[in-house]
Structure 1
Amino acid sequence: MKQYLKLIICCIFLITACSNDYEEVSRKAILKNSPDADLIELEDGTIYSHGIDWVEEREFTKGEKLGVVKEGMATKLPNGAIIYNVKESYPVIIVEYEDKMKKYLMNQGE
């Protein structure tokens, strides 16, 4: 019986140790810490932030169109702005509107 208990405890320990370190961050939590944050939340619930230095400095190639900004999706983008993914393997999207282009990085928490 003690061996089974030890085995179960070891399994639980392994499962929790191997779990993902990152979880999606809620829009509400981000805005609580930074009320002026420039965010966009896609229809799947993924949240992206603008203004990350290394993202702004890096060149990305615009990929496929993901959709358009709708009412309530973004804190600082107009409705109708076009959302694109990037061809590079980064969690970044590009948003274009009124001859402007902004890069957004996916938010991940601990």
Structure 2
Amino acid sequence: MKKSRLLLGLIIFVLLIAGGCSNSSNKGKVEVHKTENPNAEEVLKLDPESDIFQFNGVIYQTGIDWVEELTLTKDEQVGEIKTKNETDTNFEDEMSNKLPVGAKIYSVKEKEEIGGPILLVELEGKLYKYYGLVEG
């Protein structure tokens, strides 16, 4: 009888110690970390000279070394630059900080092979490669 009371007391003591060490304010709560794509402000803060535009809620940037090395083929026109914003970082779709209004935006034929969002912009007969800055 004495041994079982001692064992029961020891179990209760261990449970009380373990319960006291837990973080009771987080019991039953699940932490969710939301990852978002970078916006124009974040990109331009890192590099104020970045050449960017926004399309379908994603910021696209040119001058990325590995993208420049790709051989890409222009596919369908998906949009064009409608506004230019050189003064602040509040961007909207089809807005650029350096490309002129009217520059045509194209998809690429090699979508499946490249594994990332890349668009081409045609300007004065030349194609420029822009990579979509997405988290994932």
TM-score between the two structures when normalised by the length of structure 1: 0.75
> What is the CA RMSD across the aligned residues, in angstroms?
2.2
Please list, as runs of the form range in 1=range in 2, the aligned pairs for 1:9-48 lying within 5 A after superposition.
12=30, 16=32, 23-42=36-55, 44-48=56-60
Residue identity over aligned pairs, in percent, reads 40
1:70 — aligned with what?
A: 82
1:52 — aligned with what?
A: 64
SS of residue in 2 equivalent to 1:55: helix
**Aligned residues, how many?**
96
C-alpha distance in structure 2 between counterparts of 1:109 and 1:31, whole Å: 17
Amino acid of the structure 2 residue aligned with 1:34:
D
Q: Structure 1 stretches of 5 or more lacking a match?
A: 1-7
SS of residue in 2 equivalent to 1:95: strand
C-alpha distance in structure 1 between counterparts of 2:64 and 2:44, whole Å: 16
Amino acid of the structure 2 residue aligned with 1:78:
P
C-alpha distance in structure 1 between counterparts of 2:36 and 2:66, whole Å: 21
Which structure: larger Rg?
Answer: 2
C-alpha distance in structure 1 between counterparts of 2:129 and 2:71, whole Å: 10
SS of residue in 2 equivalent to 1:25: coil
**1:45-97 Cα shifts (integer Å, max 9, x gaps):** 21100001111111012121111111131111111110001122231000001
C-alpha distance in structure 2 between counterparts of 1:58 and 1:29, whole Å: 26
TM-score between the two structures when normalised by the length of structure 2: 0.62
Amino acid of the structure 2 residue aligned with 1:100:
K
C-alpha distance in structure 2 between counterparts of 1:99 and 1:85, whole Å: 16
1:9 Cα offset (Å): 5.0
Q: Structure 2 stretches of 5 or more lacking a match?
A: 1-26, 85-94
